[in-house]
């Protein structure tokens, strides 16, 4: 591995784990974090959770799992280019969506509404809750006992009220400090990944067209480049060549601008990174184009009639499940019934959030087909 940049996170400057453990043999602390995430139950469930398209709509669409792998790939590449800690970036990327509910954002928004009188629900906070508390794999502690740096990377945003309850990882929100550059980079790798794969999936599903996408400057520019070089290319190859250029352009821009920001702010150490404004950023030129792409996808894909139809169904399922368990917690699996004795609504939210799309659908049929609970 190349020598890390002086502002990279290293084991020497790590704030360590909540429960002290002997150092790992034959791998580093951040590799251990990554390994623990990959072996977790929550990680395996990502395979059957919706990204944008409901899991059963087609085998070729992204799921939360393939999305997370794409984010990890982008994060590692950009971390290496900047001399950062690739293992940390990979660990944060693989864990960043662990807290997502079934049925994508519709599931999260609905569960948040169900939880409005009980502290709300937020997938980002839930990812942290999974790695800190909910995974049951180790004899000595709850959760995965990850390093501080992986945990702070998972917690991308947080209200001040929640930050006060979270101890060490909440601290930076209270004092206005930044997380590591690795964490900042993963945040934008997430955006690069979903903007591009949603274009690809949206075209594959026939919900958006190449003609519509020509309104989006960065797409039009990359498409023209492909067509200039390969005048006869069409169909899937044209789409892939265009999308891969967009990914390359965005990643290269981000690396270049971040390096320029590091120089401009004379960042020399990790402490400097935490004190400086957010350093991982696109160039002035690309920023409005990223916004344009995002709002295009919002208007034309995420709010497309066919996507919205699945949202209504997802909302119904989450609301019915929440109400059914609230009225009869004995319908929960035993371990969740135990948790429900302390905080019924939170235990139910944890259980629903952990479901895959198809498990939620099956459980909804079990509870509601006879009309007994719904
Ligand atoms: Mg994501």
Report how far ligand 1's centroid is from the alpha carbon of 370 (Å): 37
CA of 231 to the centre of ligand 1 (A): 35
End-to-end alpha carbon distance in the chain: 56
How many angstroms is it from 190 CA to the middle of ligand 1?
5
d(CA 65, ligand 1 centre) in Å: 10
pTM: 0.96
Give the pLDDT band of residue 81 (cuts 50, 70, 90).
very high
Please provide the average confidence, as pLDDT, over all residues in the chain: 94
What are 265-320's pLDDT values in tens digits? 999 999 999 999 999 999 999 999 999 999 999 999 988 888 888 888 899 999 99
Give the Å distance between the CA of 50 and the centre of ligand 1: 11
Which residues lie closer than 8 Å to 185 by C-beta, 6 or more apart? 75, 78, 79, 82, 84, 89, 254, 258, 280
CA 359 / ligand 1 centre spacing (Å): 21
Q: pLDDT-derived band of residue 194, with 50, 70 and 90 as boundaries?
A: very high
- Residue 304 to residue 159: CA distance in whole angstroms: 31
pLDDT > 70: what percent of the chain? 97
H/E element, 14: none
- Report CA(293)–ligand 1 centroid distance (Å): 16
CB contact at 8 A, 187 and 35: no
CA of 181 to the centre of ligand 1 (A): 17
E strand segments, the chain: none
pLDDT band at 184 (very low <50, low <70, confident <90, very high): very high
Which of 160, 94, 154 shows the shortest CA–CA distance to 125? 154
Lowest mean pLDDT among 3-7, 79-83, 213-217, 275-279: 3-7
Distance, CA of 317 to CA of 303 (rounded, Å) = 19
Here the contacts of 57-65 (C-beta below 8 Å, separation 24 or greater) are 57/205, 57/310, 58/204, 58/205, 60/201, 60/204, 61/201, 61/204, 61/205, 62/197, 62/198, 62/201, 64/97, 64/100
Give the Å distance between the CA of 328 and the centre of ligand 1: 33
What separation in Å is there between the alpha carbon of 327 and the centre of ligand 1?
33
Distance 254 CA to ligand 1 centre (A): 17
| Interatomic CA distance for residues 135 and 300, integer angstroms | 37
**Interval between CA 96 and ligand 1 midpoint (Å):** 6
Q: How much distance in Å is there from the Cα of 71 to the middle of ligand 1?
A: 7
CA atoms within 13 A on the CB side of 1: 17
Q: Is the pLDDT of residue 53 over 80?
A: no
Residue 232 to residue 255: CA distance in whole angstroms: 32
Q: Give me ligand 1 centre to Cα 294, in Å.
A: 14
Predicted pLDDT of residue 369: 82
At 62, the pLDDT band (50, 70, 90 cuts) reads: confident
Cα of 21 from ligand 1 centre, angstroms: 30
Q: Residue 131 has what DSSP assignment? A: I
Nearest-angstrom CA–CA distance, 132 and 167? 12
Q: Report DSSP state, residue 103.
A: T
Helix axes 286-297, 181-204, angle to 10 degrees: 50
Q: How far is the CA of 1 from the centre of ligand 1 (A)?
A: 27
Cβ atoms of 86 and 80 within 8 Å: the answer is yes
Distance from residue 275's CA to the centre of ligand 1 (Å): 26
Q: Identify which of 319, 333, 353 has the alpha carbon closest to the alpha carbon of residue 42.
A: 353
Distances (CA, A) of 344 to 258, 260, 282: 45, 50, 44
* Digit-coded pLDDT (tens) for 312-371: 889 999 999 999 999 999 999 998 999 999 999 999 999 999 999 999 999 999 999 876
Question: Any residues with CB less than 8 A from the CB of 283 and at least 6 apart, and which?
Answer: 253, 256, 257
Q: Residue 194 Cα, ligand 1 centroid: separation in angstroms?
A: 7
248 CA to centre of ligand 1 in angstroms: 19
| Ligand 1 centroid, distance to 76 Cα (angstroms) | 15
If phi > 0 it is left, if psi is from -120 to 50 it is alpha, else beta; for residue 121 that is beta
Q: Please give the C-alpha separations between residue 265 and each of 10, 172, 252, 279, in angstroms, as whole numbers.
A: 21, 19, 20, 9
CA–centroid distance, residue 365 to ligand 1 (Å):
29
Rounded distance, CA 26 to CA 132, Å?
A: 24
Alpha-carbon dihedral angle through residues 206, 207, 210, 215, given to the nearest 10 degrees: 180
pLDDT single digits (tens) 34-43: 999 999 999 9
Alpha-carbon distance of 154 to 280, in angstroms, equals 16
Check whether 118 has a pLDDT greater than 80.
Answer: yes
Judge whether 23 and 29 are in contact, CB under 8 Å: yes
Instruction: Give the domains, in start order, of the chain with CATH numbers.
Output: 29-306 (1.10.3210.10), 310-368 (no CATH)
Q: What is the dihedral of CA 67, 318, 315, 70, to 10 degrees?
A: 0
> Residue 310: what pLDDT?
83
pLDDT-derived band of residue 52, with 50, 70 and 90 as boundaries? confident
Å from CA of 298 to ligand 1 middle: 15
155 C-alpha to ligand 1 centroid (Å):
12
Q: Which residues 6+ apart lie within 8 Å of 319 measured at CB?
A: 110, 113, 114
């Amino acid at each position: 591995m190349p020598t890390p940049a002086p502002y990279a996170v290293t084991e020497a400057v790590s704030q360590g784990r909540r429960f002290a453990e002997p150092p790992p043999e034959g791998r580093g602390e951040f590799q251990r974090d990554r390994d623990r995430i990959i072996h977790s139950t929550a990680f395996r469930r990502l395979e059957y959770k919706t990204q944008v398209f409901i899991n059963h709509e087609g085998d070729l669409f992204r799921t939360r799992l393939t999305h997370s792998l794409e984010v990890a790939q982008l994060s590692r590449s950009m971390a290496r280019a900047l001399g950062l800690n690739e293992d940390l970036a990979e660990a944060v990327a693989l864990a960043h969506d662990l807290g997502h509910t079934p049925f994508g954002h519709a599931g999260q928004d609905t569960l948040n509404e169900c939880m409005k009188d009980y502290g709300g629900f937020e997938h980002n906070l839930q990812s942290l809750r999974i790695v800190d508390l909910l995974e049951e794999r180790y004899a000595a502690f709850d959760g995965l006992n990850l390093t501080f740096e992986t945990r702070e990377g998972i917690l991308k945003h947080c209200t001040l009220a929640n930050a006060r309850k979270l101890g060490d990882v909440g601290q930076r929100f209270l004092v206005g400090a930044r997380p590591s550059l690795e964490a900042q980079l993963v945040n934008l790798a997430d955006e690069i990944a979903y903007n591009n794969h949603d274009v690809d999936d949206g075209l594959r599903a026939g919900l958006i067209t190449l003609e519509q996408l020509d309104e989006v400057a960065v797409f039009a520019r990359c498409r023209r480049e492909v067509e200039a070089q390969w005048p006869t290319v069409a169909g899937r190859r044209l789409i892939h060549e265009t999308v891969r250029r967009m990914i390359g352009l965005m990643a290269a821009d981000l690396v270049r601008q971040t390096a320029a920001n590091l120089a401009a702010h004379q960042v020399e150490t990790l402490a400097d990174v935490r004190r400086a404004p957010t350093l991982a950023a696109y160039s002035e030129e690309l920023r409005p184009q990223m916004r344009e792409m995002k709002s295009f996808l919002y208007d034309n894909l995420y709010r497309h009639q066919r996507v919205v139809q699945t949202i209504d169904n997802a909302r119904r399922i989450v609301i019915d499940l929440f109400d059914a368990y609230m009225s009869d917690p004995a319908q929960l699996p035993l371990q969740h019934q135990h948790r429900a004795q302390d905080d019924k609504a939170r235990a139910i939210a944890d259980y629903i959030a952990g479901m895959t799309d198809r498990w939620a659908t099956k459980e909804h049929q079990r509870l509601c087909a006879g009309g007994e609970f719904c």
